[in-house]
Chain A
Amino acid sequence: AQSVTQLGSHVSVSEGALVLLRCNYSSSVPPYLFWYVQYPNQGLQLLLKYTSAATLVKGINGFEAEFKKSETSFHLTKPSAHMSDAAEYFCAVSEASGTYKYIFGTGTRLKVLA
């Protein structure tokens, strides 16, 4: 069965510092992997996705994530945090084919300190 684990329900970084949000997955088949961002009182927006092409995926707002099969990880990074990055971030996994069921992690709330 698929599962997603996000380490750290809350992460705080200083403005300008590196952002690192961790995601580990388990999947019995090659997965699709996603990162979504949720701003307060809004729905989830796609940041980036991995679909078995390049292992380093670039997304919107300067975020990127690297798929590491040996570590079953898909960590999200951004070199320099901005105040506007404060939000909740969700990692998700789905099977590459089939019923398109998506499993979401429990989320990581990012706080950016001035």
Chain B
Amino acid sequence: NAGVTQTPKFQVLKTGQSMTLQCAQDMNHNSMYWYRQDPGMGLRLIYYSASEGTTDKGEVPNGYNVSRLNKREFSLRLESAAPSQTSVYFCASSGSLSGNTIYFGEGSWLTVV
């Protein structure tokens, strides 16, 4: 019963390096999301994909790119990491089959030094 799986769980990057966060869901959900969580700011939406083949910017998209590889997978890429991108990243998914409830992965802790 995996739900939403994201990797890696922890990563340390140097400023300017690139990396991709991977996410997969096994609930046949149409919609997938990437959020970042920072102290005192709650969850902020970076990008979302309402359905396979579409992606849209959220509240804080600058410095990120996404790819909806197929219905199951939605990746988040940092092309040139900056210290301001130090955060906890959550992938999530939702769909009508699960009553439009959004389900979250366990999180990825990213530190940019």
Contact = CB atoms under 8 A, between A and B. Distances in A.
The finding on whether chains A and B are genuine partners in a shared complex, rather than unrelated, reads: yes
The range of chain A's interface size is: 20 to 34
B94 interface: yes
A99 B50 contact: yes
B90 A44 contact: yes
Interface stretch (A64-72, A78-86, A103-111): A103-111
Contacts of A46: 101, 103
Contacts of A99: 31, 48, 50, 56
Interface stretch (B13-21, B37-45, B63-71, B74-82): B37-45
A100 B33 CA distance: 10
Given A42-B107, A43-B90, A100-B94, A34 B102 contact: yes
B104 interface: yes
Interface in B53-103: 56, 90, 94, 99-103
Given A100-B31, A100-B50, A106 B99 contact: no
